[in-house]
Amino acid sequence: MSTSLLFIGNLGGGEWIFIILVVVLLFGGKKIPELMRGIGQGIREFNDAKKNVKSHIEEGMKEKDRKEETKA
């Protein structure tokens, strides 16, 4: 695990409130839902790509097994 992200576990309630307040001030109340939609869409696209890569790997393994069975 990256050591630069380990500090996140040590944040208390006051720190989280401060971070949320800074985000609200930077992006404004109207931009936050748009930002969250963008983050959600990015996560969905990442998961779709992950599933696609996994299925391609599994198909390749099945194809390899079929070729080995026909040789034997």
pLDDT at 1 over 50: no
Instruction: Give the total number of structural domains in the chain.
Output: 1
pLDDT at 42 over 90: yes
pLDDT at 69 over 90: no
Whole-number mean pLDDT of the chain? 84
Single pTM value for the model: 0.55
- pLDDT score for 16: 84
Q: Which helix (H) or strand (E) holds 31?
A: helix 13-71
Q: Is the separation of the CB atoms in 38 and 46 below 8 Å?
A: no
Chain position carrying tokens 């307040």:
21
Sign, CA torsion 24/26/31/35 = negative
Domain that holds residue 45: 3-71
Q: Is the separation of the CB atoms in 64 and 72 below 8 Å?
A: no
Structure tokens at 18: 């401060």
